[in-house]
Amino acid sequence: MATPTLVKGSRSTRSTIALKLLMAVTGLVFIGYVLLHMYGNLKVFAGQEAFDTYAHHLRTFGEPMLPHEGLLWIVRVVLLLSIIGHAYAAFTLWARASKARTQKYAVKKAVAATLSSRMMRWGGVALLLFVVFHLLHLTTHTINVNGDPESPYERVVSSFQPEQWWVAVIYLLAMCALAMHLRHGVWSACQTMGLTNSAKSRARANFAGVFLAVVIAGGFALVPLSILTGIVD
């Protein structure tokens, strides 16, 4: 992604650095959340009792010091603020880069960077739309699914049955977008925090991005794929 020339110590430089740090920090919040969320989802392989007990425990965690679902609401508020901050920083940086771009790129490397940046933006939009769909699907139950509404396990398993293959397709496409977003996002965060100053550190940052993308997106994808193929029923 092209960026305007930065003058050391200028207000625009400090603002750009602050926005990139905001994206990096909120990105780390998301990574921590999706890792924990993936861990919880994988409990589906332990059976209905284990999965439902885990889901119930999330709602009662911290009682009586916290109200019912108190922890969940804290997490929701933190995630909402992180999403707002991440989206604001991303849009502002993109707008500045577009404004500063006065001529077309002449080398393939710059074209590739522009394509990667464009994929990040649209991938982010796709993930945001998927989050809305996911909440309507399994949190508010606005999108109707079969199964006992009191059993999170039954709702999840009934959602990915072969006759509702389109739901699984949406989730799997979203995981592809998540993998690409994580891959590039981890690299960008490492670069922002000054962790790519040598060949070895760049290799480590690249490995971290690929590793997290494969583990997290792959872990989430295992659930719908296992239900579709009858491994989980």
The two three-digit tokens of residue 220, written as one number: 């989430």
Cβ 178 vs Cβ 220: under 8 Å: yes
Name the pLDDT band for 219 (thresholds 50, 70, 90).
Answer: very high
Cβ 26 vs Cβ 86: under 8 Å: yes
pLDDT value, residue 27: 92
Percentage of the chain beyond pLDDT 90 is 51
Sign (positive or negative) of CA dihedral 129, 172, 192, 102: negative
**Mean confidence (pLDDT) of the chain:** 84
Contacts of 172 (CB under 8 A, 6+ apart): 221, 224, 225
Question: What's phi and psi for 148, nearest 5 deg?
Answer: -65, 120
Give the C-alpha distances (Å, rounded to integers) separating 115 from 28, 61, 111, 172, 203.
Answer: 24, 44, 6, 22, 21
Name the pLDDT band for 191 (thresholds 50, 70, 90).
Answer: confident
Cβ 28 vs Cβ 195: under 8 Å: no
Q: Which amino acid is at 29?
A: V
CA angle 212, 217, 218 (to 5 degrees): 100
